């Protein structure tokens, strides 16, 4: 028995089944005490390993997402932004929009919670093992522009296109020149009706001509983003000023 047990431990260690090794004695004792079958014991033992690997996989997916913070939907103060439809946001968290290849646009002034909501949805997607990536619009454009200069634009576009969910934060906060507009269009066109994109912006749609300089490019981008999109307009107070405003009320 001892030699067989030792060999089993060695086999599990060789297979890098660390959790099965850690819980082996516990499962042997439990199985013997409760007169369970070999299959029952194996199911319990492998479940420990699977749970551990799943947890690590989820952590890795969230880390790859490059989120600015770990704020989830439970951390969002809907009472502070009563004009936001909580049920609509919770429906986004269900991730049906990803399966439908739909987009989401969060529109509102600085500090109203656009990035928090976009990040919360992104974390929920990553935890369900959807490939997800968060990037600020200016950083995205700089990467595409640099890739074009280095003759690897196609590869970079394919990199950003591979994600099931791409979150582009702060569109319109910094100037976008004519070249950037064309690069941005290429990415949006590539993802159109294939993948889901979340955008946060402080610019109303009728002013996108000013962002992208060229009205034709602006309309083409808008058309592809809004064709299958949920638009959430947030008109509340700045989330960042929340504590300051509450202090003034006291």
Is residue 164 scored above 60 in pLDDT? Answer: yes
Tally of structural domains, the chain: 2
Question: 100 with 173, same domain?
Answer: yes
135 Cβ neighbours under 8 A, 6+ residues apart: 66, 143, 160, 166, 167, 168, 169
Do 141 and 57 belong together in one domain? no
For residue 67, tell me if it sits in a domain.
Answer: no
Residue-wise pLDDT tens digits, 133-155 = 999 999 999 999 999 999 999 99
Do 134 and 182 fall within a single domain? yes
Same domain assignment for residues 55 and 110? no
Rounded Cα gap, residues 109 and 71, in angstroms? 20
What whole-number percentage of the chain has pLDDT above 90?
82
In this predicted structure, the answer to whether residue 248 has a pLDDT above a threshold of 80 is no
For residue 95, the model assigns a pLDDT of: 98
The per-residue pLDDT of the chain, averaged, comes to 92
- Token pair of 133 as six digits: 């990536």
Q: Are residue 131 and residue 80 in the same domain, yes or no?
A: yes
Distance CA 79, CA 111 (A): 15
Average of per-residue pLDDT across 161-183: 94
Nearest partner of 27 among 17, 16, 55, judged by Cα: 17
- Measured between alpha carbons, how far is 176 from 201 in angstroms, rounded to an integer? 13
Q: For residue 217, which of 194, 173, 187 has the smallest C-alpha distance?
A: 187
53 domain residue, yes or no: yes
Going from the C-alpha of 234 to that of each of 3, 105, 209, the distances in angstroms are 67, 11, 21
Same domain (yes/no): 165, 41: no
Q: Are residues 120 and 223 in the same domain?
A: yes
For residue 201, tell me if it sits in a domain.
yes
**Does 200 map to a domain?**
yes
Give the mean pLDDT of 21-27. Answer: 95
| CA 65 distance to own-chain centroid | 6
Give per-residue pLDDT as tens, 65-79. Answer: 999 999 999 999 998
DSSP letter for 239, please.
Answer: G
pLDDT for 240 equals: 63
Do 27 and 85 lie in a common domain? no
Mean pLDDT for 111-117 is 94
The pLDDT of 6-23, averaged and rounded, is 95
On whether both 21 and 127 belong to a single domain, the answer is no
Q: Are residues 82 and 20 both part of a single domain?
A: no
For residue range 222-238, what is the model confidence (pLDDT) as tens digits?
A: 999 999 999 999 987 77
Domain termination site, one of 62, 81, 99: 62
Domain annotation covers residue 250: no
CB atoms within 10 A of CB 51: 11
Same domain for 208 and 122: yes
Collapsed DSSP state (helix, strand, coil) of residue 112 = coil
Question: What's the Rg (C-alpha) of the chain?
Answer: 24
Q: What is the mean pLDDT of residues 27-38?
A: 93
**41: pLDDT confidence band, cut at 50, 70 and 90?**
very high
CA dihedral 35→40→44→49, nearest 10 degrees, is: 140
Tell me, what DSSP letter sits at residue 213? Answer: S
For residue 161, the number of C-alpha atoms closer than 13 Å in the C-beta half-sphere is: 19
* Residue 243 pLDDT greater than 70, yes or no: no
The pTM assigned to this predicted structure is 0.85
Residue 247 has pLDDT above 60, yes or no: no
pLDDT of residue 250: 43
* Per-residue pLDDT at 110: 87
Angstrom distance (rounded) from CA 25 to CA 103: 50
> Are residue 48 and residue 136 in the same domain, yes or no?
no
Residue finishing a domain among 16, 31, 62: 62
Structural domain boundaries enclosing 172: 73-245
Distance CA 104, CA 98 (A): 10
Query: Among 69, 72, 111, which residue's Cα sits nearest to residue 90?
Result: 72
pLDDT in tens, 189-206: 999 999 999 999 999 999
Cross-strand partners of 132: 165
């Amino acid at each position: 028995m001892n030699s067989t047990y030792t060999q089993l431990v060695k086999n599990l260690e060789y297979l890098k089944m660390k959790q099965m090794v850690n819980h082996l004695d516990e499962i042997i004792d439990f199985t013997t005490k409760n007169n369970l079958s070999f299959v029952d014991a194996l199911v319990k033992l492998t479940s420990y390993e699977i749970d551990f690997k799943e947890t690590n996989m989820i952590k890795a997916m969230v880390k790859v997402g490059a989120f600015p913070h770990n704020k989830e939907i439970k951390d969002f103060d809907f009472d502070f932004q009563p004009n936001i439809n909580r049920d609509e946001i919770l429906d986004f968290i269900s991730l049906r929009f990803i399966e439908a290849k739909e987009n989401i646009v969060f529109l509102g002034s600085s500090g109203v919670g656009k990035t928090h909501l976009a990040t919360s949805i992104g974390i929920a997607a990553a935890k369900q093992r959807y490939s997800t990536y968060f990037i600020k619009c200016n950083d995205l454009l700089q990467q595409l522009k640099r890739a074009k200069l280095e003759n690897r634009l196609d590869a970079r576009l394919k990199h950003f296109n591979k994600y099931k969910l791409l979150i582009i934060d702060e569109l319109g906060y910094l100037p976008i020149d004519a070249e950037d507009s064309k690069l941005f269009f290429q990415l949006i066109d590539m993802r159109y009706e294939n993948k889901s994109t979340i955008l946060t912006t402080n610019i109303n749609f009728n002013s996108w001509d000013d962002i992208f300089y060229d009205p034709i490019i602006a309309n083409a981008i808008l058309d592809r983003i809004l064709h299958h999109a949920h638009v959430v307009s947030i008109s509340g107070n700045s989330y960042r000023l929340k504590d300051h405003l509450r202090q003034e009320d006291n």
